[in-house]
């Protein structure tokens, strides 16, 4: 895989324009070439990224023309050997029909309306011809003014034309679309055993999806939870506090008519997510159709990051090239230079690359790498330039119900993620170092077993050690909407060793009701931390109170490890959604 460590750039294809000529049948002056607009490109194929209960998350959103109420279908392919029951046939060649109930900028949530089999991650959904015609018509003749052809008339009153152009039109549906929730919470932590500490925290939570704010191209999207007042702070953050730090909330500028884009907040760099989430921002500019250059800077607040340190700050420049489409071949390649600071002192300069290939739902290849030179402690020998971290992932869909993956993970230095999160499964991509291979199989009755096996070795080991992950998930159990996921993991890498087991039970009915119960046991030993065994239970209940309010309640308990405690959290707040009023205003008759 030598070539995967190097960035690559592909030259974009030039657009091909076909002029349209017309001649008058009568004697008129010499005809002129009519100017036409580019053909309207409509994306009709989307992929399932995540399935929970009756909700299906796809990789297309408002930027692809999707809206609430759009219908998508799952077609039966020739590779599917089993035929659906005749009494359950929706229409010839259609396995399932889904309806979009929520849309973000680059993703959407669908509700399963009809289906003859389980919908799994990787399935391809198609937009029916009727929906395509609606989308083309809205782009071609709507307020976007993207007409399929520009026609000049030799007759007509210019004054009448000016009057028609001055008529008010309803705004685009995505302008000032705002929905989300805002609330205040009260959290209490009570220490157990030898620790008698107690803490009461008043906090605030905000979830927002606001597009085209005040008609501009600025968008606010994400989730934030923070503290407003605390009576006393425990010596170490609780499990719930650590998970709350993994939020993302960003204000982004995305204008299809501009070469510039930007973002600020807690976010991933759009073209280099391997740099982990940063508290900061970025700005980039397209230098061609498929290439852009940008700057970024911020701190590293996410405790699940491999290089987590609250005092770390990073900044740098990057260059990206991308092209193709998700229906066929898609690629994106990023290369850049950055510097990492600790307490405003240079810790390490680094070069980074990130490459991603995919071909439909059949094949995907991802690789990220950082080459750095860390600053050694004064009492330690100098460290030479070398590969600091490398992540390689290969995924192949060998059958509509089976996918296989191969990963390779390498770190030169000891990762600094927070080990308290090991049992939650958020750190799996760092625990299984070395080469690992696995598979995921979708069985009838919404049952999906998965596994991963690998070999990790160190220069000081007499022989390599085995990494193991075994798990099974079950969705929509007895048609109740409940989902259960159970897993067991054993890892033994050069930097950490241990085991964990985890059981998650959840039920999700869109935004109306959410229930999540997670419990586990973990044992983790590393040069930075030692945990001979601890247990935790984390539960969360979220429900709407009418059309405007919501209540959320959570409980976390931990036994063993570095601290034992009970934590209760209650949140009450207000929900807002102006989409209904916008739709009414859009369909109201003009004065």
Mind listing the pLDDT tens digit for each residue in 400-443?
899 999 999 888 887 888 888 887 778 887 787 788 999 999 99
Q: Indicate the burial class of 338 (C-beta count within 10 angstroms; 0-12, 13-18, 19 or more).
A: buried
- Residues in the chain predicted with pLDDT less than 70, given as ranges, are 1-41, 77-90, 137-174, 194-195, 231-236, 378-380, 456-465, 527-531, 580-591
Contact (Cβ atoms closer than 8 angstroms) between residue 371 and residue 354: no
First to last CA, the chain: 66
pTM across the whole model? 0.65
Give the distance from CA 535 to its chain's centroid: 29
DSSP labels, 326-342: TTSEEEEEEEEEEEEEE
Q: State residue 292's pLDDT score.
A: 96
pLDDT of residue 142: 45
What b/e string do you get for 216-233 counting C-beta neighbours within 10 Å, with b at 16 or more? Answer: ebbbbbbbbbeeeeeeee
Residue 439: Cβ-neighbour burial (10 angstroms; 0-12, 13-18, 19+): middle
Q: Which residue has the tokens 């071949």?
A: 329
Angle at 465 between CA 460 and CA 471, to 5 degrees: 150
- Residue indicated by tokens 């979830």: 207
Report the alpha-carbon distance of residue 588 to residue 591 in Å, rounded. Answer: 9
* Alpha-carbon torsion, ordered 166, 168, 170, 172, to 10 deg: 30
Confidence (pLDDT) at 583: 56
Inter-residue contact 432 to 452 (CB < 8 Å): yes
* Cα 454 from Cα 406, distance rounded (Å): 9
Cβ distance 74 to 105 under 8 Å? no
CA 97 to chain centre: 24
* Whole-number pLDDT of residue 343: 84
The H-assigned helical ranges of 413-541 are 428-431
Please state, in angstroms and as integers, the Cα–Cα distance from residue 349 to each residue in 309, 318, 320, 360, following that order: 16, 14, 20, 37
Q: For residues 239 and 420, is the Cβ–Cβ distance under 8 A?
A: yes
pLDDT of residue 493: 74
Domains identified in the chain and CATH numbers: 1-20+193-375+390-399 (no CATH), 37-148 (2.40.10.170), 401-542+557-564 (no CATH)
Give me 558's structure tokens.
Answer: 């931990």
Residue 139 parent element (H or E): helix 129-141
Sign of the torsion angle spanned by Cα atoms 403, 408, 414, 416: negative
The pLDDT of residue 355: 96
H or E stretch covering 100: strand 94-103
Q: How confident is the model at residue 148, as a pLDDT?
A: 44
Number of Cβ within 10 Å of residue 121's Cβ equals 17
Q: What is the CA radius of gyration of the chain?
A: 27
CA 326 → CA 44, 378, 427, distances in Å? Answer: 10, 50, 28
CA-to-CA distance for 501 and 386, rounded, in angstroms? 35
Contact 253, 267 (CB under 8 A): no
């Amino acid at each position: 895989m030598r070539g995967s460590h190097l960035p690559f750039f592909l030259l974009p294809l030039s657009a091909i324009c076909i002029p349209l000529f017309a001649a008058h049948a009568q004697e008129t002056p010499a005809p002129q070439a009519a100017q036409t607009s580019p053909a309207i490109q409509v994306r009709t194929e989307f992929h399932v990224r995540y399935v929970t209960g009756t909700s299906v998350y796809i990789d297309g959103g408002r930027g692809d023309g999707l809206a609430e109420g759009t219908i998508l279908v799952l077609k039966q392919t020739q590779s599917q050997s089993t035929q659906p029951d005749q009494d359950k046939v929706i229409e010839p060649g259609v396995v399932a029909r889904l309806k979009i109930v929520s849309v973000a900028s680059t993703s959407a949530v669908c509700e399963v309306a009809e289906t003859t089999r389980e919908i799994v991650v990787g399935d391809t959904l198609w937009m029916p011809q009727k929906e395509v015609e609606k989308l083309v018509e809205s782009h071609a003749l709507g307020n976007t003014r993207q007409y399929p052809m520009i026609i000049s008339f030799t007759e007509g009153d210019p004054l009448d034309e000016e009057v028609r152009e001055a008529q008010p039109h309803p705004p685009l549906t995505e302008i000032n679309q705002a929905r989300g929730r805002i609330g205040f919470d009260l959290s209490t932590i009570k220490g157990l055993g030898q620790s008698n500490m107690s803490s009461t925290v008043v906090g605030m939570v905000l979830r927002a999806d606001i597009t085209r704010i005040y008609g501009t191209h600025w968008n606010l999207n994400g989730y934030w939870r923070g503290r407003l007042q605390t009576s006393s702070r425990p010596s170490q953050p609780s499990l719930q506090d650590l998970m709350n730090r993994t939020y993302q909330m960003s204000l982004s500028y995305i204008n299809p008519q501009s070469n510039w884009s930007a973002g600020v907040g807690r976010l991933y760099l759009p073209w280099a997510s391997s740099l982990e989430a940063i508290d900061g921002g970025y700005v980039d500019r397209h230098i061609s159709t498929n290439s852009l250059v940008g700057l970024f800077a911020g701190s590293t607040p996410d405790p699940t990051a491999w290089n987590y340190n609250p005092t770390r700050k990073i900044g740098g420049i990057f260059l990206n090239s991308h092209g193709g489409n998700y229906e066929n071949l898609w690629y994106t390649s990023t290369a850049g230079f950055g510097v990492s600071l600790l307490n405003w002192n240079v810790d390490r300069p680094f070069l980074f690359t990130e490459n991603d290939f995919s071909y439909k739902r059949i094949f995907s290849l991802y690789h990220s790498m950082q080459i750095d030179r860390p600053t050694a402690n004064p009492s330690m020998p100098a460290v030479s330039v070398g590969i600091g971290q490398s992540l390689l992932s290969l995924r192949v869909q060998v059958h509509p119900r089976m996918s296989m993956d191969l990963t390779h993970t390498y770190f030169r230095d000891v990762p600094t993620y927070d080990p308290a999160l090991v049992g939650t499964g958020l750190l799996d991509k760092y625990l299984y170092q070395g080469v690992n291979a696995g598979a995921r199989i979708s069985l009838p009755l919404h049952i999906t077993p998965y596994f991963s096996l690998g070999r990790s070795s160190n220069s000081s080991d007499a022989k390599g050690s085995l990494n193991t992950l075994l798990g099974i998930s079950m969705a929509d159990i007895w048609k109740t909407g409940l989902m259960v996921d159970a897993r067991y993991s054993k890892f033994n890498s050069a930097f950490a060793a241990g085991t964990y087991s985890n059981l998650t039970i959840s039920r999700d009915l869109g935004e109306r009701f959410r229930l999540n119960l997670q419990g586990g046991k973990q044992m983790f030993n590393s040069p930075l931390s030692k945990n001979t065994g601890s247990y935790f239970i984390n539960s969360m209940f979220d429900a709407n109170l009418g059309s405007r309010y919501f209540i959320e309640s959570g409980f976390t308990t931990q036994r063993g490890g570095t601290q034992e405690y009970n934590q209760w959290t209650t949140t009450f707040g207000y929900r807002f959604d102006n989409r209904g009023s916008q739709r009414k205003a859009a369909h109201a008759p003009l004065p």
